[in-house]
Amino acid sequence: MLRLETERLVLRPLGTGDFEAYYSYTSVPENMVYTIFGPFTPEEARKFLEMYENWWKEDPPRVYEFAIMLKKENGKMIGNCGLYMDDEKRATAMLGWYIHRDYWNQGYATEAVKALLKFGFEDLELHRIHAECNTDNIASARVMEKVGMRREGHFIKNRFDRVGDRKMWYSEFFYGILREEYLNKQPLYGGKEDRLMDFFEVVDKRYSYRGEFLDTPVPREDLIKIVTAGIKAPSARNLQTQSFLIVTDADLRAKIAEIIPQKGIATAPVLILLVSQRQELGPMKVSFELKDYGAAAENILLAIAALGYATVWTDGETSMIPERQEKLAELLGIPEDRSVRAVLPVGIPKDPGGKQAPRKPFDELVKFNRYS
């Protein structure tokens, strides 16, 4: 039996014996938001597994569909992934994957896709491997970029298909990588032009999410990246009056939700508190804390969006209500010379696909050389 191994995973042929594990995530709506199939009924899940099993019996298979197994947890199956030949010439293939929502944001998709690329280029000697994703599916786009695939296209509302519980026109990113590029280990993503495009796409996609979150944890490494973006924000006179508190403890989060009764704060797996320190300078007693805080908040909001999470800037819910400030300070041990400016709920949205609120026209807000 064909078997691919990585540091943490084993990939082996998917078949009808995997029904319980396969159905446990393909039947869950949150797991199937960006897929054109599903959520599956038991009969549909069995039909797909039979199809995969029959493909494995072909010589050679037109589809290589693998179960993704954890080496730990007694070989638990946490998803599936595959290579799908484009035609009988077997020179190019598309890749795809599913990961059980309980195992999102832990690097398993990236690890599995790397194994597929290795198998496709080194064993099958494919010329090219490609993939696509909904442009709102930032997490999948990140996986393809991490493994070295190049974004080759951005098609605007090119596909009419299922997203969540309804059908709609949506846009797609197209990625690809050639065998010689893979073998030469060329850095295919991250050139100057790509970084600029990535930044402006994040600016465009960032929006305020006021709904509930899934209970999927945000990995510590992502939290460090997010808050580091705030630390690196511009600071007036480099006083760096901003600081940050990351709250992952469930009891503390519940108590914060009692102080600030919002759905997002009540359900997010992590809360990031932005804290500022007033430092008065000179005879005019000027303080730059709000400038520092605002710059840090913007960097953090963009970092959250870039990593595929959602949040909302809840400044008014804290800084404008002294009673809440006092309760938060007492609960979390905030020093007297510092103030909680905002509480940002961070996580995977339960109802994804939100859009940025409309902005005023460019010409109304921007002037060149003279205002009037």
pLDDT for 151 beyond 80: yes
- The CATH 3.40.109.10 domain(s) of the chain lie at 220-346
Kindly give the residue spans of alpha helices, DSSP state H, lying in 261-321: 263-267, 289-306
pLDDT for 16 beyond 80: yes
pLDDT for 307 beyond 60: yes
Helix (H, G, I), strand (E, B) or coil at 34: coil
Instruction: Please count the other Cβ atoms lying within 10 Å of the Cβ belonging to residue 170.
Output: 20
pLDDT of res. 346: 95
73-101: per-residue pLDDT in tens? Answer: 788 999 999 999 998 888 999 999 999 99
pLDDT of res. 283: 64
Provide the token pair at 135: 């442009």
Provide the token pair at 320: 């404008």
pLDDT for 191 beyond 80: no
pLDDT of res. 196: 39
Distance CA 140, CA 138 (A): 6
Cis peptide leading into residue 269 (ω within 30°): no
314 and 341 in contact (C-beta within 8 Å)?
A: no
Distance CA 32, CA 23 (A): 12
Range in 43-52, 87-96, 163-172, 321-330 with the lowest mean pLDDT = 163-172
Range in 31-35, 154-158, 187-191 with the lowest mean pLDDT = 187-191
293 and 274 in contact (C-beta within 8 Å)?
A: yes
Provide the token pair at 252: 């503390």
Range 304-313 average pLDDT? 88
pLDDT for 368 beyond 50: yes
pLDDT for 197 beyond 70: no
129 and 117 in contact (C-beta within 8 Å)?
A: yes
Range 197-209 average pLDDT? 81
Burial 92-118 (b: 16+ CB within 10 A, else e): bbbbbbbbbbebbbbebbbbbbbbbbe
Residue 36 or residue 175, greater confidence = 175
pLDDT of res. 130: 97
Sheet holding 128-134: strands in order across?
4-5, 9-13, 63-70, 77-85, 92-99, 128-134, 166-178, 150-163
Distance CA 264, CA 212 (A): 5
Query: What's the pLDDT band for 299 if we cut at 50, 70, 90?
Result: very high
Cis peptide leading into residue 60 (ω within 30°): yes
pLDDT for 163 beyond 60: yes
pTM: 0.55
Mean pLDDT, the chain, integer: 88
- The CATH 3.40.630.30 domain(s) of the chain lie at 4-205
Task: Find the helix packing angle between 42-56 and 19-26, rounded to 10°.
Answer: 120
Query: What's the pLDDT band for 282 if we cut at 50, 70, 90?
Result: low
CA distances from 249 to 246, 270, 312, 365 (A): 9, 8, 20, 43
Residue 248 or residue 194, greater confidence = 248
Q: What is the CATH number of domain 220-346?
A: 3.40.109.10
Q: What is the CATH number of domain 4-205?
A: 3.40.630.30
Helix (H, G, I), strand (E, B) or coil at 36: coil
pLDDT for 278 beyond 80: no
Query: What's the pLDDT band for 190 if we cut at 50, 70, 90?
Result: very low
pLDDT of res. 194: 42
Range in 151-155, 257-261, 317-321, 343-347 with the lowest mean pLDDT = 317-321
pLDDT of res. 236: 83
Helix (H, G, I), strand (E, B) or coil at 364: helix
pLDDT of res. 189: 36
Owner of token pair 């050639």? 178
Helix (H, G, I), strand (E, B) or coil at 184: helix
pLDDT of res. 198: 66
Distance CA 9, CA 115 (A): 9
Range 189-217 average pLDDT? 71
